[in-house]
Amino acid sequence: MSGTADKLAVTELLYRYAELIDAGDFDGVGALLGRATFMGAAGAERIAALFAATTRRYPDHADTPRTRHLVLNPVVDVSGDVAAARSTFCVVQHTETVPLQPIVVGRYADTFARDRSGWYFTDRVVDIEMLGDVSAHLLVDPRRFGTGTDATPSAPA
């Protein structure tokens, strides 16, 4: 692969994560991150279970969280068979009780590796910088996950 093709392949992993979580496909998120460490969890089943235990899904809306995770401004650095990416994210949500609004904004710091099957996540760090009303999104108090750079709680996003 060329440098540009490698960067595109890694960037598509960032976008795939957003697509899977917005679809409520937590098993898919677990599979995507299954070779990575995420929020102290490792392994596809543990990561999928983390999302299932912390993220609200709406059965009347195709069992999705009724969110859109927007991954913005990805910067990808590739060196041989490893890569690092940093990006910004903004999660918006709309429900019957919550008007369309941003609910969380922050940054992802990701690392990747490549083998014969292609690129895969090896680590994802979520840094929440701005936190709005996540009560219709999360099933847990986000303060339980520590603090971000602005002393704002960090949680799966």
- Domain-embedded: residue 18: yes
Q: What is the pLDDT of residues 97-124, one digit of tens each?
A: 999 999 999 999 999 999 999 999 999 9
Query: What pLDDT band is residue 154 in, cutting at 50, 70 and 90?
Result: very low
- Domain-embedded: residue 19: yes
- Domain-embedded: residue 155: no
Q: What is the CATH number of the domain that holds 39?
A: 3.10.450.50
Which residue range forms the structural domain that includes residue 88?
3-145
Give just the sign of the alpha carbon dihedral 142, 143, 149, 150: positive
Q: Please give the tally of structural domains in the chain.
A: 1
pLDDT of 2 > 80? The answer is no
- Domain-embedded: residue 157: no
Q: What is the pTM of this model?
A: 0.90
Going by C-beta distance under 8 Å and a sequence separation of 6 or more, which residues neighbour residue 36?
42, 47, 120, 121, 122, 123, 124
- Domain-embedded: residue 151: no
- Domain-embedded: residue 91: yes
Residues of the chain with pLDDT > 90: what percent? Answer: 87
pLDDT of 83 > 70? The answer is yes
Rounded to whole angstroms, how far apart are CA atoms 47 and 40? Answer: 9
